[in-house]
Structure 1
Amino acid sequence: MSVRPALPGSYRTGLRDPGTNIPSVINDEGSLRLPQSGAAIATLLDAVLSVGRNLDLTEVLSRIVQSACDMVGARYGALGVLRPDGQGLMEFVTTGLSLAEAEAIGAQPRGIGVLDLLTNECRSLRLPDIASHPASTGFPPGHPRMTSFLGAPIRIRGQVFGNLYLTDKIGGPEFTDDDEALVAALAVAAGMAIDNARLFETTRRQQQWSEALGATSQALLSGLDQRQALAQLAERACAAAEAGLAVIALKGRDGSLVIEAATGPDPQASVVLGTTLTDPHWFTILASAEPLLLLSKHGESAADPPAGVLRASTGLAQHGRTAVVPMTVRPGTEAIGLLIVGWDQPETHVPYDVAEPLKQFADQAAVTLVAGYAQRDRARMTVLEDRERIARDMHDVVIQRLFATGLGLQSAARVAEEGYVRVRINEAVDQLDLAVRDIRETIFELHHAQATPFPQQVLELAAGFAGPLGFTPQVEFDGQLDRVEVQLGLDVLAVVREALSNVARHARAGWVGVRLGVETDSVWVAVEDDGAGFTETGRRSGLANLDRRAHLRGGAFEVRRAGQRGTRLIWRVPRLTPDT
């Protein structure tokens, strides 16, 4: 199922229904009823001090459970943390179970039956025998037998954070009224301790996100190579979100969505670099500009098959929590890309807690990226303006002076008496004509030169795969690639990117060669490797993209084995499309 980040829903906070035989821990004035025993009060104070001793949330939750067990003499204790949408338990912190017992139980409880009563009724609950309650659903295989039960909800700012469960009173058949009052009082203190720990954790995370944004902005605006800067951005997002995977996919000029950066604890994560995300679902999220948190567990159908495939291809389990966050410059505008973050640890509150800062981080990164684009455009404009000025000066000053000098020499040649002098003057005039012609060609090139020559773009693209491949592909050119039309050039770059991405993911190659050729009527790309070789039964989604690009341009695409090992890919299209 897919769940959008949300605050917990509203919960009933009224007292127990009249006529129940469970005593209330709230007195007539609406305050907590505390035990009369001084020893019990001292025990409660010790427990409260123990709970508030630490600001690490995981440690605080464990201390709450242990302190509650020690305070009322419970053999087993647990704290179930609710999902933000209030549907079931997200975390389950236990004490009293041996490692063998915990392994025998297996998956954590879902929060149904008696455990769900505390959430629905939002009040403490005390039972002499949990199994005899009408709401009981029994114990799973391997679960130790439990009898007496005492539970209390933990509220934070008026909303239920989770429930405290205690079972098996030591030295007695069931928990007492004083036990219930003590646990209810501890639940109040626990709520404040948890709130403080969450505020501390929020502050710490905000500092991490702020540092990540600062470092990313500096990298993108300082002239660092964009792919290196995006790699830093992905690493920072992964660390701040405490995730196992972070992927950045940007929308290209041709409308394709290409993975430009990927990071994670598994070295396999980098193999997806250069992969084109073609599933329509990615573009649906991109167009919505709304973040999406996807949840799925083993045994369930995948919440989002494309996300599951991406997780699996980077070394993460197919099931888990995955946040897909559009990168928008400002509200109401189209996103420029996606930030995809995946978690591999057991379900925790972290994905919900980082949902909002993750969106802010993605949007700020988008702003910085666009600012970097604008900075580079301004630099290109400055270069073009300089070229325009130089071309204008050469035309208006240099050529005119040379032309005037040539006219003067021609006049002098007509009055020269010596034939040898006339010949040398005419030769000088011819040289001036050649110089004027060369200057005019230079002026034309200054007007039409690209900021980054197409061959250089190919070399930079190939160099970007040095990380995933473990080496830099060998690139060769045949013909005048600088004459390739812009849109055709984008297709050629996409073909090279997809081909190298396939090699990185599947071939296990030690060498890759890329050759690009331009002929009178066609452009071709050949990519060859010495890897595992091509099989007809292999997955061909990437190859299908190459075949589609060739077909749209009236060309051809083929892939075959290159000798005993390796694969050879050939992509050839006309210089002009069929429509033109």
Structure 2
Amino acid sequence: MQDRSPADRQQLLLDAVLAVGGDLSLQSTLERIVDAARELLDAEYAAIAALDEDTSQVTTFVQVGMPQEAQGRIGHVPRGRGLLGATMFVHEPLRLDDLTTHPYFGGFPDGHPPMHSFLGVPIRVKNRTFGSLYLSEKNGGRPFSAEDEEVVGVLAGAAGVAIENARLYEESRRRGTWLEATAAITTRLMGGDDATEALQTVADRARVLADADMAWVVVGEARDALELKVVSGANADLQAMRTLPLERSIAAEVIESGEPMSVDDIRIDDRAVDVPARLGLPPLGPMIVVPLVSSTGVVGSLSLSYRYDRSEVFRAVDPALPARFAEHAAVCLEVAQGRENQERLAVLEDRDRIGRDLHDLVIQRLFAVCLGLDALSRRSDDEKVANRITEAVDELDSTIKDIRRTIFALGAVEASTDIQSEVSRLVERARQTMKVVPSLTFEGPVRTLVGTDEAPDLLAVLGEALSNAGRHAHARHVDVRVEAGDELVLAVTDDGRGMPVSIAESGLANMRERAERRGGTFEIYTAEGEGTRIVWRVPLAAGR
């Protein structure tokens, strides 16, 4: 091919500069640059390597001229070492008649076509290196000239500006996408989803926005009360999620500090709990963890993790974007939780009213009937009639006990998301009706390990135990202890008069049946004048 005239070359260069700056997509911009360079210098091969500004690693490599089958035989794209790296990091053009004679040349990979003439120019703007532009094998076997070097230098300058603009555009577009998602998730979270569904929505949207392979949310405000709540991007065992040791995890550090953190490889970082490995999921590498910050403080963390071969995607994510998204989501969750608490409070107030009506009206009337019948039985001369009346009184007494148990059960919200708070509330309610003030102690991660399956039985047994202690024990002290580990243990101890040897086990039988149904035990330790201790023990699903 004949050399172009200077005028033709200048026009081509002007057209190329205009074409390079005519697109805001980074990939399209890189393709336009290599096409323009190849045409300008009449070269057989042209390529451009774009660098990550933080790590100086090659993140994108675009080439033209090499057949697809040759690219397939070579496999991986260049990593920016050897001769290609020299152009990037020396920051000077490199023009060679035979690249194989250069000391940095390390040989071609298998399947690579032969090359000799070479011209490499760094792409720089304001002392920032964006990558390098390479050309090889000028047609006709000719070497690249000083004029070629000058032309490519001009094109590289325009390319640097175009790449910077494209990256700024991409960053602006990503920020806009995060902002749109923030607005969308506000509507979704305020739409009435329960807490778990809302957290799942947060994890799902964040994973898609950050182009992550997996996301998960840890909730809790203290190291010893953290729980992995939801996972996005994989099916996770809910029971296994509840047993993860998160006290010394990166999530715990983020929740404690309130600052985002990034990890290059969760497998080798001593601070990281490798959640995918612990849950039997595919291995992951780099991770971003951001706090969930509400008006009351940090209430959890959001983690975004990537496969090892997608580290460049991880590095392209600005942690500030998911951090702001998480902060906004946390505020929405707080508002949604406040609305849910108001609804729960309305239910509890209604239950309190029903409980008061049962206690003040129904039980008092039944108790008056019992007293009247009892007096009538003592005045009756007919033994059969007196016995029938006594039986009726006993039935009414059992009915009163059942109503008392129902009153306590009304105070227990089934499927509560916070069993520790429900136990505390039930004990507080008992303080208002008993002559003594029960003490309450928790041992182990009760809030984390006791799930919605065990909670109703625990609350029902506790309500029955407190009712018995208040009505029969004549105690000065009542102690309630709840322990969670491999087993869930409820112990209620009083210093009252103890249980008689022969006692009707209506309520006690109910507690024993609830334990045995779960493969547990129910034990009573009592002695006359020395008080009573009942121990209700069942295995936890997470500890089996």
TM-score by length of 2: 0.64
Q: Does 1:483 align with 2:480?
A: no
> Which residue, out of 276, 281, 301, partners 1:310?
276
Partner SS state of residue 326, structure 1: strand
Once structures 1 and 2 are overlaid, which stretch shifts more, 246-255 or 336-345? 246-255
Measure, in 2, the Cα distance between the counterparts of 1:158 and 1:372.
49
Query: In structure 2, what residue type is equivalent to 1:445?
Result: F
- Listed one character per residue, the Cα deviations across residues 128-168 of structure 1 (whole Å, up to 9, x for unaligned) are 33333344444444433332222222235652222222222
d(CA) in 2 for partners of 1:75 and 1:69? 7
| Structure 2 partner of 1:502 | none
Change (3 A) 1:455 1:437: farther
Helix, strand or coil at the partner of 2:326: helix
Query: Deviations for 1:192-223, whole angstroms, at most 9, x for unmatched residues?
Result: 33233333323332232223223333333332
Partner of 2:112: 143
Cα 1:221–1:481 shift into 2, 3 Å: same
Is 1:271 aligned with 2:233?
Answer: no
One of 375, 381, 392 as aligned partner of 2:345:
381
Equivalent pair of 1:481/1:517 in contact (CA under 8 Å): no
Contact kept, 8 Å, 1:234 with 1:247, in 2: the verdict is: yes
Deviation per CA, 1:347-387, whole angstroms, max 9, x where unpaired?
53564234331222223223333333333333333444455
Q: Does 1:445 align with 2:435?
A: no
2:122 is aligned to 153
Residue type matched to 2:411 in 1? Answer: A
Paired with 2:66 and 2:182, the residues of 1 have a C-alpha distance of 43
2:455 and 2:520 map into 1 onto residues whose CA distance is: 8
Q: Distance in 1 between matches of 2:260 and 2:237?
A: 22
1:180 matched to 2:153? The reply is no
Q: Percent identity?
A: 31
Instruction: Tell me the residue number matched to 2:177.
Output: 208
- Over 3 Å counting, the alpha-carbon distance change for 1:331 and 1:293 in structure 2 is farther
Unaligned runs of 5+ in 2: 376-388, 420-452, 463-479, 490-515, 524-535
Q: Does 1:223 align with 2:185?
A: no
1:329: how far off? Answer: 0.7
Whether 1:360 aligns to 2:324 is: yes
Judged with a 3 Å threshold, the aligned counterparts in structure 2 of structure 1 residues 302 and 167 are, in CA distance, closer, same or farther, namely: farther
* Match among 159, 165, 170 for residue 134 of structure 2: 165
Long gaps (5+) in structure 1: 1-34, 414-425, 458-474, 495-513, 528-544, 547-570, 572-580
Contact 1:52 1:60 in 2 (8 A): yes
Could you tell me which amino acid in structure 1 is paired with residue 236 of structure 2? Answer: V
1:260 deviates by 2.7
Aligned length: 437
Distance (whole Å) between structure 2 residues aligned to residue 480 and residue 296 of structure 1:
42
Question: d(CA) in 2 for partners of 1:158 and 1:455?
Answer: 56
Tell whether 2:40 aligns with 1:71.
yes
Corresponding residue number in structure 1 for 2:287: 323
- Describe the superposition over 1:444-466 as per-residue Cα deviations: whole angstroms up to 9, x where unpaired: 538x7133356998xxxxxxxxx
Task: Compute the RMSD of aligned alpha carbons.
Answer: 4.9
Provide Cα deviations, 1:300-325, integer angstroms capped at 9, x if missing partner: x8567966661696764x354x3231
Alignment match, 1:540: none
TM-score, normalised on structure 1?
0.61
SS at match of 1:184: helix
Aligned with 2:538 (options 514, 517, 524): 524
For 2:324, the aligned partner's letter is Q
Change (3 A) 1:374 1:482: same
Relative to structure 2, which stretch is displaced further, 254-263 or 79-88? 254-263
The corresponding residue for 1:251 is 220
Structure 1 position 254, deviation (Å): 8.8
Please give the alpha-carbon distance, in whole angstroms, between the structure 2 residues aligned to 1:272 and 1:523. 25
Match of 2:69 in 1: 100
Matches of 1:46 and 1:256, distance apart in 2 = 64
Instruction: Tell me the equivalent position of 1:339.
Output: 303
Task: Quote the offset at 1:36 in angstroms.
Answer: 9.0
The alpha carbon displacement at 1:442 in A equals 8.2
Distance 1:434 1:173 in 2: 111
Q: Secondary structure at the match of 1:270?
A: coil
Flag the structure with more relative contact order, 1 or 2, with Cα contacts below 8 A and sequence separation at least 6: 1
Q: Residue 197 of structure 1 is aligned with which of 141, 163, 166?
A: 166
